[in-house]
Amino acid sequence: MSKLWQGAVRTIFWSYERGSWPYDVMVLAILAFVLLTPRAWFHDQPQPNPRSQTSVRLLSEAAGGLQTYRLDAELLAAQKRTAKKTPELERQVHDVLGHDVDGLKGKTFQVVRIVPVREDNGAVASYEVTIRR
């Protein structure tokens, strides 16, 4: 029993000399655990990036360079999601559109109108943003 206890203590505290057979067995056991354990056991699933999903959609295009986009509210910082058009909201909407819409990257455009679209509970779900190119 004493040898069994000593072996357990030496294994827990990793006190075997390098190159000894118990050391090599522990290294092989660790490698087998790391390489053979299914990823699902740890619930290690990649989380989707909100910007990678379709969060900005073109709704309509009118004469005179006017375009209307629907922009999901999750793309904006929580403290900037307001029902009123503020300079901060306009700036952030402009930045998101300039970053996420391929046709607007590196181009100049002006945000003309921002209309919040609300959920049933009154929270802002998205914005309809009209721009002029």
In this prediction, the residues of the chain whose per-residue pLDDT falls under 50 are 51-52
Residue 35 has a pLDDT of 93
| Spatial CA neighbour of 52 closest among 72, 80, 70 | 72
38 shares a domain with 56: no
70 shares a domain with 22: no
Output the six-digit token pair for 78. Answer: 């929580």
Give 30-56 pLDDT, tens digit per residue: 999 999 998 778 776 666 655 445 588
Q: How many domains, the chain?
A: 2
Q: Positive or negative, the Cα torsion across 107, 112, 117, 118?
A: positive
54 shares a domain with 29: no
59 shares a domain with 15: no
27 shares a domain with 11: yes
Residue 77, domain extent = 50-132
pTM of the model: 0.56
60 shares a domain with 30: no
The CA-based dihedral angle spanning residues 111, 116, 117, 123, taken in that order and rounded to the nearest 10 degrees = 140
62 shares a domain with 33: no
57 shares a domain with 37: no
71 shares a domain with 31: no
63 shares a domain with 115: yes
76 shares a domain with 14: no
Residue 76 has a pLDDT of 81
97 shares a domain with 63: yes
Residue 52 has a pLDDT of 47
Residue 68 has a pLDDT of 92
| Alpha carbons 70 and 106: distance in angstroms, whole number | 20
